[in-house]
Structure 1
Amino acid sequence: MPDAGAVDRAVELQAADVVVIGAGQAGLSAAYHLQRRGFRPAGESGSADAAADVQDAPGSYVVLDAEAGPGGAWRHRWKSLRMATVNGISDLPGIPKPDVDPAEPSSGFLSRYFGDYEDGLGLNIVRPVKVRSVSREDDDPSGRLRIESPAGSWSARAVINATGTWTRPFWPIYPGQSTFRGRQLHVADYEAAEDFRGQHVIVVGGGISAVGLLDEISQVTTTSWFTRREPVWREAGFDQKAGHDAVALVEERVRQGLPPQSVVSVTGLIWSPALRAAAARGALARREMFTEIEPGGVRLADGSFLAAGVILWATGFRAELEHLAPLHLRGSGGGIAMDGTQVAAEERVHLVGYGPSSSTIGANRAGRAAVAGILRMLESRRPGGALPA
Structure 2
Amino acid sequence: MDSARTGVVVVGAGQAGLSAAYHLQRRGLAFEILDAEQGPGGAWRHRWKSLRMATVNGISDLPGIAKPAVDPREPSSGFLTRYFRDYEEELGLSVRRPVKVHAVSREDSNPAGMLRISTSAGTWTARAVINATGTWTRPFWPIYPGQSTFRGRQLHVANYVAAEEFIGRHVIVVGGGISAVGLLDEISQVTTTSWFTRREPVWRGTEFDMQAGHDAVALVEERVRKGLPPQSVVSVTGLMWTPALRAAAARGALDRQPMFTAIEPDGVRLADGNFLKADVILWATGFRAELEHLAPLHLRGPGGGITMDGTQVAGEPRVHLVGYGPSSSTIGANRAGRAAVAAILKLPGMAVPADPVTWG
Same-fold call, TM cutoff 0.5: yes
Contact residue 201 and residue 310 of structure 1 kept, 8 A? yes
Residue 280 of structure 1 corresponds to which residue in structure 2?
250
Out of 53, 62, 70, which is 2:40 matched to?
70
The alignment status of 1:90 with 2:80, answered yes or no, reads no
Contact residue 118 and residue 124 of structure 2 kept, 8 A? yes
Deviations 1:35-93 (A, max 9, x none): 01112xxxxxxxxxxxxxxxxxxxx1010000010000000000000001001100000
The alignment status of 1:346 with 2:316, answered yes or no, reads yes
Residue 50 of structure 2 corresponds to which residue in structure 1?
80
Residue 103 of structure 2 corresponds to which residue in structure 1?
133
Alignment of 1:192-207 (within 5 A): 192-207=162-177
What is the CA-CA distance between 1:125 and the residue it aligns to? 1.1
CA distance in 2, matches of 1:94, 1:358: 20
Secondary structure in structure 2 of the residue aligned to 1:112: helix
Deviations 1:78-127 (A, max 9, x none): 00000010011000000000001111000000000000000000013111
The alignment status of 1:175 with 2:145, answered yes or no, reads yes
Higher relative contact order (CA 8 A, sep 6+): 2
CA distance in 2, matches of 1:261, 1:213: 21
Letter in 2 for 1:316: G
Deviations 1:163-221 (A, max 9, x none): 00000000000000000000000000000000100000000000000000000000000
The alignment status of 1:244 with 2:214, answered yes or no, reads yes
Residue 264 of structure 1 corresponds to which residue in structure 2?
234
Determine what percentage of the aligned residue pairs are the same residue: 80
CA distance in 1, matches of 2:106, 2:35: 21
Alignment of 1:11-160 (within 5 A): 11-39=1-29, 60-160=30-130
Secondary structure in structure 1 of the residue aligned to 2:319: strand
What is the CA-CA distance between 1:359 and the residue it aligns to? 0.2
Residue 135 of structure 2 corresponds to which residue in structure 1?
165
Gaps of 5+ in 2: none
Deviations 1:311-358 (A, max 9, x none): 000000000000000000000000000000000000000000000000
Letter in 1 for 2:157: V
The alignment status of 1:289 with 2:251, answered yes or no, reads no
Secondary structure in structure 1 of the residue aligned to 2:74: coil
Out of 381, 384, 387, which is 2:349 matched to?
381
The alignment status of 1:335 with 2:305, answered yes or no, reads yes
What is the CA-CA distance between 1:142 and the residue it aligns to? 0.8
Residue 217 of structure 1 corresponds to which residue in structure 2?
187
Residue 323 of structure 1 corresponds to which residue in structure 2?
293
What is the CA-CA distance between 1:235 and the residue it aligns to? 2.2
Gaps of 5+ in 1: 1-10, 40-59
Secondary structure in structure 2 of the residue aligned to 1:347: strand
Secondary structure in structure 1 of the residue aligned to 2:338: helix
What is the CA-CA distance between 1:381 and the residue it aligns to? 3.2
Letter in 2 for 1:25: Q
Residue 50 of structure 1 corresponds to which residue in structure 2?
none
Moved over 4 A (4+): none
Secondary structure in structure 1 of the residue aligned to 2:254: coil
Secondary structure in structure 2 of the residue aligned to 1:325: helix
Contact residue 61 and residue 124 of structure 1 kept, 8 A? no
Secondary structure in structure 1 of the residue aligned to 2:213: helix
Letter in 2 for 1:347: P
Contact residue 345 and residue 352 of structure 2 kept, 8 A? no
What is the CA-CA distance between 1:150 and the residue it aligns to? 1.6
Contact residue 236 and residue 272 of structure 1 kept, 8 A? no
Secondary structure in structure 2 of the residue aligned to 1:82: coil
Secondary structure in structure 2 of the residue aligned to 1:242: helix
Alignment of 1:224-239 (within 5 A): 224-239=194-209
Letter in 2 for 1:232: V
CA distance in 2, matches of 1:78, 1:242: 29
Letter in 2 for 1:158: A
TM-score by length of 1: 0.90
Secondary structure in structure 2 of the residue aligned to 1:132: strand
Q: Kindly report the root-mean-square deviation, in angstroms, between the aligned alpha carbons of the 2 structures.
A: 0.9
CA shift in 2, pair 1:290/1:100, >3 Å = same
CA distance in 1, matches of 2:154, 2:109: 46
What is the CA-CA distance between 1:386 and the residue it aligns to? 4.2
